[in-house]
Amino acid sequence: MKNEKKIRNALISVYHKDKLEPIVRGLHQLGVKLFTTGGTQTFIEELQIPVIPVETLTDYPSILGGRVKTLHPKIFGGILSRRHNPSDILEMEEYNIPEIDLVVVDLYPFEATLASGAEKQEVIEKIDIGGISLIRAAAKNFDDVLIIPSLEQYSFLEEIIQNKSGVSTLQDRQTMAAHAFGISSHYDTQIFRYLNIEVGIPSFKESIQSAKVLRYGENPHQQATFFGNLDDCFTQLSGKELSYNNLLDIDSAINLMAEFTEPSFAILKHNNACGVASRTTGTEAWNAALEADPVSAFGGVLICNFEVDVALAKEVNKLFFEVLIAPAFSMDALEILSQKKNRILLQQKNFKSRPRQFRTLLNGLVEQDKDVYVESSSDLKNVTKRQASTLETEDLLFAMKLAKHTKSNTIVLARNKQLLASGTGQTSRVDALRQAIVKAKSFGFSLKGAVMASDAFFPFPDCVEIASNEGIEVVIQPGGSVKDQESIDYCDSHNMAMLTTGIRHFRH
């Protein structure tokens, strides 16, 4: 598979000129003839290196404000010609077309322009036509041509120039061709997604270029890769490499904590919260969250929405845990918490999460909007004679936030903005409630004065009856069952308050 090819003629047409100088100088030292365009030509000429403008080759000027420069048979013929095809060789001689052995391209920054919030016309102007065509042509003809499709591949070319005297192997060229089609595919995907916002063509297209191979997947026999840039989400201050399961829990933790504005602490295990509390101080929030289930907290993922100070660090340090996420850590707190080398400490950044979710299913996948709805007091409808107090309403909203982020079927029991217990992932709502009651009592909680939240409606009055027998007097649920009235009637006859939201929060 060696099939070595020496670079004799190169076409360079790049948007960003960063790190280009050593490549140009190296090619020049090897005696490579350089063809180039516009701004790249000016850059190379300023280095006092001879260059041939493509207009000299094509005998045609750049037109339409630079929109058309390289789209010409003398350019694409030089790239696409098959070096061992007799017919191609004759045509190249007939039309005096030089063979181009190397193409270096760096595309117009479409994504960066879009992310900057630029006006539509400016974004459209950053859709590269000539560059993407050069990339595809050179990549297709990788038998004979080496394509360098972006700034990220410059180091690969420098290696060939410096250590291989400008000679590439077929493996080199095929590797870069794969990169090239990956880049062109990603580029086109971003353009499609942008234009399709207003059009709405039903098509699933995702492209993420950043990738991190994980140690393994959910279990050791499964391979896994994270696609995305974790550095945009947080800074890892200490600890071992993040695992697949760590990332699942971290995602759940960050999504849950995004619901809270007052100082709050949460402890998660297997994507479900086992302890959550909101308090006036960080240490109080931690103690209340841990109180809900100190057993499950062992080996859990911890998150808060305030700076971790030394007082909190001393308390948290008493527990074995996998991950702690916070927006900031004091230096003294960091010194205490980082003493255990495998403990993962993440300083969360203010990043934008993806608005759509998808998962594989059968022989395809399903996609949906992320559940970002957060109930407020204006969403609540009191459907019973008894009215919930202001404090009870605050607890109901607190509990519903937890229900939204807990695996269905779920029932959440809370009081004074503290999770008492939850029933998670049960096949019936009654089972979820019974699980929550047993768990709360096992950790010494009385349920008198607690509130109950359900992620979906009550199909029968059995849950409110069980709750009433435990001293729970206030309930929140989406409503919508054909038998809602039976649950309402039971509440009225037992002096219970029921509020409905009209919003279901299934989580499967």
Rounded Cα distance between 36 and 163, Å, is 24
**Strand order of the sheet with strand 381-382?**
381-382, 497-500, 474-477, 451-454, 411-414, 419-423
- For residue 128, the tally of other CB atoms under 10 A from its CB is 21
How far is Cα 70 from Cα 467, in angstroms, rounded to an integer? 74
146-148 sheet: strands from edge to edge: 52-53, 33-36, 9-14, 102-106, 146-148
Q: For residue 165, what are the contacts with CB-CB under 8 A and spacing of at least 6?
A: 6, 30
Q: Counting Cβ atoms within 10 Å, is residue 489 exposed (0-12), middle (13-18) or buried (19+)?
A: middle
Question: The tokens of 9 are what?
Answer: 């003629």
β-bridge pairing 474-477 and 451-454: parallel
Angstrom CA distances, 333 to 38, 312, 337, 479, stand at: 55, 8, 6, 45
Per the annotation, the verdict on 270 as an active-site residue is: yes
On whether the CB atoms of residues 139 and 76 are closer than 8 A, the answer is no
Q: Please pick, among 33, 164, 186, 270, the residue that the annotation labels catalytic.
A: 270
- Which one, of 308, 314, 403, lies nearest residue 348 by Cα? 308
Token pair of 217 as six digits:
């997947």
Contact indicator for 134, 108 with CB cutoff of 8 Å = no
| Cα distance between residue 184 and residue 133, in whole Å | 9
Reply yes or no on whether 179 is catalytic: no
What spatial distance separates the first Cα and last Cα of the chain, rounded to whole Å? 49
* Integer CA distances (angstroms), 450 to 83, 247, 384, 437, in order: 80, 33, 18, 11
The Cα 145–Cα 11 span in angstroms is 11
143 neighbors 82 (Cβ within 8 angstroms): yes
Peptide bond into 271 cis (omega under 30): no
Written as six digits, the tokens of 182 are 């990956």
- Cβ neighbours of residue 449 closer than 8 Å, sequence gap 6 or more: 415, 471, 473
Write the single-letter amino acid at 159: E
Q: Contact, 413 vs 463, CB < 8 A?
A: no
How far, in Å, are 4, 12, 22, 132, 451 from residue 179 at the CA level? 19, 17, 22, 13, 56
Tokens of 14: 């790049």
Token pair of 309, please? 């100070």
- Tokens 């990788």 identify what position? 142
Distance, CA of 73 to CA of 367 (rounded, Å):
43
Annotated catalytic residue within 140, 164, 186, 441: 140
**Which residues does the annotation mark as catalytic?**
140, 270
